[in-house]
Amino acid sequence: MRVYPILIFSILAGGLHSASLPNTRPLTLDGDLSVQMVAGIDRFLMRETTTTAKRRADFWKRDYRTAKTYVASIQKNRARFRTLIGAVDKRLTINALEFISTTTASSLLYEDKVMSVHAVRWPVLPGVHGEGLLIQPKGTLRARVIALPDADQTPEQLVGIAPGIPAVAQFARRLAAAGCQVVVPALVSRSDEFSGDARVRFTNQTHREWIYRQAFQMGRHIIGYEVQKVLAVVDWFAAENAKQPIAAPITVAGYHEGGLIAFYSAALDTRIQVALVSGYFTERNRVWEEPIYRNVFGLLEQFGDAEIASLISPRALVIEHSKIPKLGGPPKVRPGRGSGAAPGILATPSTTNLWAEYERAKKLSAKGSHIALITKDGNNTLDTFGTDRALEALLGFANVIPKANWKTSKQPAKELQSKSPRHRQQRQVSELVEHNQRLLRFSEYERTESFWGKLPPAEAAKWHAECEPHRKQLWKEVIGQFPAANLPINPRSRKILETDKWIGYEVVLDVWADVFAWGYLLVPKDIKEGERRPVVVCQHGLEGLPIDAVTRDEKERAFRYYKGFAAELADRGFVTFAPHNPYRGHDAFRVLQRKANPLGRSLFSVIVPQHNRIIDWLETQPFVDKTRIGFYGLSYGGKTAMRVPALEPRYCLSICSADFNEWIKKNVTVDARYSYLFTGEYEIFEFNLGHTFNYAEMAALIAPRPFMVERGHKDGVAPDEWVAYEFAKVRRLYANLGIPERTEIEFFNGPHSINGKATYEFLHRHLKWPKQ
């Protein structure tokens, strides 16, 4: 990590030439302020996580009078939960499970006197199928069960027709021996075998992360998809029950990742009468440590595991405290594969946390609810899963009298066992990839209907107000909004740079406890008394620092990208401010996004208030014209140029350099090397942005203020065609508003960098500052 020395020049007496700016305290902070900023935001987010859990009750209006009134009172919470996990698509009608057979292989994989096992699949969404095994018991059917293995287990292992799970833990087979009809879906695994695209590259992301990245941007989730597969089986079970004089109870049971899916499925569907959750139940405030495919945007605002359990109430829930395998991170990078998978760990939940969450679940649930906790010796972790006591509780709550001797049923002999089909996993992955790509292809139509269709361009003067509902949607539902700064601004400064044309100050401003804004202010020396100048806020990119926007040392790597644009503009007479945005430190800052997302927030939930505070302070400076504060950002600073001015109307214009493009496509497509799907920027994805705001829609929230794109032909961010396509929608809007002169794009024959030609002209023109 680069650390630039802070150079203190000779201090001149009085006014702007003193060691500190007027009306500021001396800045005495030492060390790397970037590292300190990220650490402070981390502490802030950890406090917010604790505070959010305490505020959770405000979102619930439980009516405990009767079971019926209780269920009705939590419907809004259930609907919210469904949206958060992306289980929102209408499922296809299912009339029957399909046997999977070919001219060389039968669907029947095993049969004895107790049961038969078939390979099956079933429709879920257009082009998406569930796939797994159907165990049909011989004799009277006592219950219908969906049994979910862990993501690193196969249905064949859980049934006992493939090695890998001890016989005592083969709960799918054991429930069939008890007289239950059992469907065992295959989960998307943690392997990386099919992650990537042969036409582009492969990656070390697990299959679950590979699907998660695409789905998250489109308002969907790997969790939601697998819940949908379970609920499609529930649809079939319910249809089969309708044909019988007495309906068989419908239950779900799952271990580890399968426990999560079983838990969430039962929370959504009241037709599930009993749920058994093994190896997944605990206090969830550290979900940010878990693999990223468990990242659910906004989950912790309303839901811990106890609240999810209360969605199952007054139906029955069995929690089995079983060990899970430790997971230390994603697959190691192998030859021929790219890196970039997100970190994440899994470990057996602590008994203390589990018990505390279990007690909370009991208090929150309806009167008469059945919640059983199965442990070892009363208070310890079980060595295995699917134990006799857990299965007995499941069957007992379902009022099922099992067949005799079901506990002693034998698994098939080794010579009768079969391999788990490799291509099934490939189909499960590829179907979900194609479904995500279909959502991508059609997302523009949805944005057209939800945004442009509701906002026909009218008068430019009215456009900002007409966009306000969409601005609130972007801030509250996509980026996530924290309350405004709650500390006095407490400005501190020190002089650090000086040229013959301007003086540079380092400035720190308070936002919240542990959170501050920080940057370099360059003040031209020729400002006359009482004169107010325009300001350009010059934003650095990924892993950058304020000095990067200032330095004109051609030996510095930063100069290749930024060309010292903050200093160049100060030479031209503009006041410039180069703020620090906290996207620096690799995983140190990316984990901030992981901590913010479960709260329904993002890194920009912090960055926007930091910029609010910067403008608050700039407006008080006697040499600043507060009506002429513009924004100019490169790369990640260009991302800021699309988001912050869209939400902060005091930025009177915005220039997006080296970032503007068909943003949704860049995040979701598997067909281009430009896609973030293949890179290490796992924090970049924003929940449901694909159906709400592309860059054209964000630019529309900036309108009618001037907006410009700076684009190098040799910039590897995206091809020119993507950039031009998206900008054409912006140009059309400004033309329809009657202000085409307020937007433009400059294509220059260069790389990912500031060009500083047409953009400087744009700033002079729209900030009304003459060239010097």
Residue for token pair 């800045």: 27
Task: For 536, list phi and psi in degrees, rounded to 5.
Answer: -115, 120
Name the DSSP letter for residue 526. T
| Tens of pLDDT, residues 412-453 | 877 667 777 889 999 999 999 999 999 999 999 999 999 998
Average pLDDT over residues 170-185: 97
Q: CA-CA distance, 389 to 253, in Å (whole number)?
A: 13
Question: What is the average pLDDT value for the chain, to the nearest integer?
Answer: 95
Which tokens go with 394?
């499941």
Task: Write the single-letter amino acid at 263.
Answer: F
Percent of the chain with pLDDT over 90: 91
Concatenating the DSSP letter of every residue in 349-375 gives PPHHHHHHHHHHHHHHSPTT--EEEE-
Q: CA-CA distance, 71 to 314, in Å (whole number)?
A: 8
In three-state secondary structure terms, 696 is helix
Work out the widest C-alpha separation in the chain, in whole angstroms.
98
- Per-residue model confidence (pLDDT) at position 420: 78
| Tens of pLDDT, residues 212-231 | 999 999 999 999 999 999 99
Bond prior to 704 in cis (omega within 30° of 0): yes
| Tens of pLDDT, residues 286-309 | 999 999 999 999 999 999 999 999
Residue for token pair 């220039």: 655
- Per-residue model confidence (pLDDT) at position 34: 98
Percent of the chain with pLDDT over 70: 97
Pick from 605, 675, 663: nearest CA to 297: 605
| Tens of pLDDT, residues 103-138 | 999 999 999 999 999 999 999 999 999 999 999 999
Q: How confident is the model at residue 17 (pLDDT cuts 50, 70, 90)?
A: low
103 burial type by CB count under 10 A (0-12 exposed, 13-18 middle, 19+ buried): exposed
What SS3 string covers 472-498?
A: HHHHHHHHCCCCCCCCCCCCEEEEEEE
Task: Examine the pLDDT at 378 and tell me if it is beyond 80.
Answer: no
Average pLDDT over residues 39-63: 97
Q: How many other CB atoms are there within 10 angstroms of residue 224's CB atom? A: 23
User: Is the torsion defined by CA of 715, 718, 721, 724 positive or negative?
Assistant: negative
Q: How many other CB atoms are there within 10 angstroms of residue 611's CB atom? A: 25
Task: Examine the pLDDT at 7 and tell me if it is beyond 50.
Answer: no
Name the DSSP letter for residue 759. H
- Give this prediction's pTM: 0.95
Report the side by side order of strands in the sheet with 337-338: 196-197, 201-203, 337-338
Residue for token pair 């027709």: 161
CA angle 681, 685, 686 (to 5 degrees): 150
Helix (H) or strand (E) holding 746: strand 743-748
Report the side by side order of strands in the sheet with 25-26: 25-26, 492-498, 502-512, 515-524, 575-579, 533-539, 624-634, 653-657, 707-712, 743-748
Q: How many other CB atoms are there within 10 angstroms of residue 401's CB atom? A: 11
Q: CA-CA distance, 772 to 760, in Å (whole number)?
A: 12
